[in-house]
Amino acid sequence: MDELFNIRWNSKRPDVPRSAVKKPIKTLHYLTIEFLPGRTLKNTLFNLGWHDIFAQALKQKGIDINKIFDVEADAGLGNGGMGRLAACFMDSLATLNYPATAHCIKYDYGLFQQRIIDGQQAEFLDEWQNTGGAWLTARPDEAVTVRFHGNVGSYKGPDGNLKFNYEGCQEVEAFPFDMMLSGYDSHIVSNLKLWSAKSKSSAKRVNYGEYSNRVNEAKEIEDISSVLYPSIEQASGRTLRFKQQYFLVSASMQNVINVHLHKGRDINDLSSFVAIHINDTHPTMCVPELMRILMDEHSFSWDDAWNTITKCVSYTNHTVMAEALEVWDADLVMRVVPRIYQIISEIDRRFREYLTKLKKEPKIIEHMAIISNNSVRMANLAIHASHKINGVSKVHSQILKERLFKHFAEIYPDRFINVTNGITHRRWLAECNPRLTEFITKLIGGDLCKDAQAMEELCRFLDDTNSIKKINEIKLENKKDFAEWLKIHQGITINPESRFDVLVKRIHEYKRQLLNVLRIIYLYNELKNNPKADILPQTFIFAGKAASNYIMAKRIIKLINQVAAEIEKDKVISKIIKVVFVENYSVTIAEKLMPATEVSQQISLAGQEASGTGNMKAVMNGALMMCTYDGANAEIAHLRCNDGTFTFGLSPFEVERTWRDGYNPIDIYNSNKDIVGVIDALNNGFNGESFKDIASYLLNTCTNKDNYMCLADFEEFIEAHKKMDALYRKPLEWGKVVMRNISKMGYFSADRAILDYVKNVWHLTKLK
Ligand code: 26Y
């Protein structure tokens, strides 16, 4: 049955007798707590080559196909980059004919729907399944039981070895739904297996009092797959989030083993057939869970189980933020999954023994240990168990190897590699920007969807003025489309003739939306002082969600909206600059915005953004980037020979040195009158609201002053913009740089990233 999902549904299944298959078919299982596929209908029609035929047929009936697409809700099963990357990877895997299943959770509610009310973010329930659920196929045949709590007992088995049994557990049914993810003109589809938690129905008769207890218990169980990242502020939330993670890995690992055995394969050959990928630390417990299954259910010895697992498992780190390196209270782990805790303790014991043999200092051993100080460290466990560990851009991978996981890289030097992220250029160029795609295809021929590197051919047209003019015309048309969409959806009018300057991503201090607002305030001050100041007409577009409990991020949203309102009040200035906050940023909105972006702000504090993928989407769609030396920005800049790149600010190394030397934003404030003007404006407020809190966040001599060094990079940011503006004033030169950048973007296709993973990490079998 499972094989069905790796065979394209409209192709004839090759009837190959099992005995004739010589090499094991190695399949990927990608474990991820987030998955952001966006909409599916358009993508599937596109991949089948049916989009235009359907559009035409509907048009004849007077129906706009886009109206039909608009009915479908995005499956918002993720926060941002990491979840979207997983979806891009599944697309490329299917396209390149590599068998893969992604395992995630079928959250009842997606990440909240965001509305802006009185300038503030408000969160609403995202009932994505109402329409987005149409693609789900229930798989009752694959349901498994996940056990929590209870006691672990041990006894001597018939073979004389110690066996374990679990008693008094809470039993949860893990019920999977499959969603097929098509590839472009390929023989197979990827499968997304979404697990939902159900209470196991019991036929036992209960009296009334017991019945309501049962209902409460059932609700508690179903909560496991209710929302993404349940709040961990309270102990009950921490238990829930932890249970969710174990639920995902236990269900998926049981599934992997069941499918393997069902196909008549030998359990000892698991690592020849299965690659298991840990997408960030959240699914790390797949390691002890697989140990449990192999030892307790298949009588593996410890060493055999460990050797098998370490051949299967690999891990990608997606963030260096301290709060994202997950650590769980040992007591919690012990209470919720007692057998798993025993196994983690034994992994830790053996690892400490190994480190002692290597003569590591006790301090270093403690630092690398998996359990220390009554906490279980998921990243340490993932690294110790994985045969490959990667960062998602060169800078990030270097930071992992040389800083964050330095001690691990010393003992496991061959395990640490880099795989720079990529995006599926089919969704992010061909589908979302048909004008540009048609133009490129006309120039270079061939099928861009199959071969992103072919974009390089565009270089041949860099001196062709007509082509460059066309590139600029296409951008204007796309801007008009976006302006029209924004008018319809948010009632906001923007001028397509102004430059679209875009910062769209999760709202987070490290991504420095605040720095961008400071620049806008600076421009506003300049125009207040001199309404005739030579400032380019610009529309500053922001979009992104703030975590609902992230106070500073929500303040930044408020600031953006109040600055927008203040500017609107000024009849003269509002003709030159305008700020808009697009509500409810999602994959679908990104598809509308990327083709219209001219300036893409990628301005994280260097060393903080692991890669970024919005940078790739924007440049591929003909934007120029204003960026710091961070994540994949550095590689995008490098590929286009640093020409036409607007890089500014401290490097990751300089950021570290500045912290070490003692960073004092007040010195910067005292030496820069533009910053004084901006801080004064924050104190005076916008649209009747003071932002003294943000002013003092930037300047206060308390420990949290300007944590992400907005002031340190402010001056260079302004200067870099002046250079960028000068280029923009020469449309043909701007267009030429845009075109050259696009020509270099083939490298950032997810197809290339997947080929890197296949070659260096997963070693999957290409299906014919
Ligand atoms: C706090 C913890 C539960 C947690 C929650 C979410 C930890 C991490 C995450 C998500 C991280 C994430 O999305 N990282 C992004 O991954 C992208 C794909 O690799 C990168 O491009 C991007 O720079 C990075 O921020």
pLDDT in tens, 104-152: 999 999 999 999 999 999 999 999 999 989 999 999 999 999 999 999 9
Is the pLDDT score of 6 beyond 60? no
To the query of whether residue 243 is one of the catalytic residues in this protein, the response is no
Kindly indicate the confidence band of residue 675, based on its pLDDT and cuts at 50, 70 and 90. Answer: very high
**Calpha distance 557→513 (Å, rounded):** 9
**Calpha distance 43→426 (Å, rounded):** 9
Q: Looking at per-residue confidence, does 463 or 322 come out higher?
A: 463
Is the pLDDT score of 263 beyond 80? yes
Residues 378 and 328: beta-carbon distance below 8 Å: yes
pLDDT at 705: 83
Percent above pLDDT 70 for the chain: 95
**Calpha distance 34→22 (Å, rounded):** 35
Is the pLDDT score of 37 beyond 60? yes
Q: State how far the alpha carbon of 295 is from the alpha carbons of 248, 343, 466, 738, in Å.
A: 20, 10, 68, 57
**Calpha distance 632→624 (Å, rounded):** 14
pLDDT at 643: 65
- List the single range of 11-20, 88-97, 630-639 with lowest mean pLDDT: 11-20
For residue range 38-85, list pLDDT tens digits in order.
999 999 999 999 999 999 999 999 999 999 999 999 998 999 999 999
pLDDT at 205: 72
| Sheet of strand 375-377: strand arrangement | 327-329, 375-377, 371-372
To the query of whether residue 241 is one of the catalytic residues in this protein, the response is no
**Calpha distance 572→319 (Å, rounded):** 43
Average pLDDT (695-704) is 79
Instruction: Confirm or reject: Cβ of 448 under 6 Å from ligand 1.
Output: no
Which atom of ligand 1 is closest in space to residue 392's alpha carbon? 19
Instruction: Confirm or reject: Cβ of 664 under 6 Å from ligand 1.
Output: no
Instruction: Confirm or reject: Cβ of 609 under 6 Å from ligand 1.
Output: yes
- List the single range of 18-22, 275-279, 539-543 with lowest mean pLDDT: 18-22
Is the pLDDT score of 158 beyond 90? no
Is the pLDDT score of 34 beyond 50? yes
Average pLDDT (733-742) is 96
Q: Record the tokens describing residue 561, joined without a space.
A: 């909206």
In the reported structure, the alpha carbon of residue 351 is separated from the centroid of ligand 1 by a whole-number distance in angstroms of: 28
Is the pLDDT score of 208 beyond 50? yes
In the reported structure, the alpha carbon of residue 83 is separated from the centroid of ligand 1 by a whole-number distance in angstroms of: 8
**What is residue 371's three-state secondary structure?**
strand
What integer best gives the mean pLDDT of the chain? 94
Residues 516 and 603: beta-carbon distance below 8 Å: yes
Instruction: Confirm or reject: Cβ of 230 under 6 Å from ligand 1.
Output: no
- List the single range of 111-125, 209-223, 316-330, 506-520 with lowest mean pLDDT: 209-223
pLDDT at 201: 66
Q: The whole model's pTM is what?
A: 0.95
Is the pLDDT score of 313 beyond 90? yes
Which atom of ligand 1 is closest in space to residue 316's alpha carbon? 19
**Calpha distance 241→232 (Å, rounded):** 7
Kindly indicate the confidence band of residue 18, based on its pLDDT and cuts at 50, 70 and 90. Answer: very low
**Calpha distance 272→6 (Å, rounded):** 18
**Calpha distance 210→176 (Å, rounded):** 29
Is the pLDDT score of 710 beyond 80? yes
pLDDT at 270: 98
Tally of residues, the chain: 768
DSSP label of 631 = T
To the query of whether residue 558 is one of the catalytic residues in this protein, the response is no
Instruction: Confirm or reject: Cβ of 613 under 6 Å from ligand 1.
Output: yes
Is the pLDDT score of 13 beyond 60? no
Q: For the packed helices 465-490 and 731-743, what is the interaxial angle rounded to 10 degrees?
A: 90
Which atom of ligand 1 is closest in space to residue 609's alpha carbon? 23
Average pLDDT (294-299) is 95
Q: What is the largest CA-CA distance in the chain?
A: 90
- Give the pairing of strands 375-377 and 327-329: antiparallel
Instruction: Confirm or reject: Cβ of 319 under 6 Å from ligand 1.
Output: yes
Dihedral through CA 613, CA 619, CA 624, CA 630, nearest 10?
30
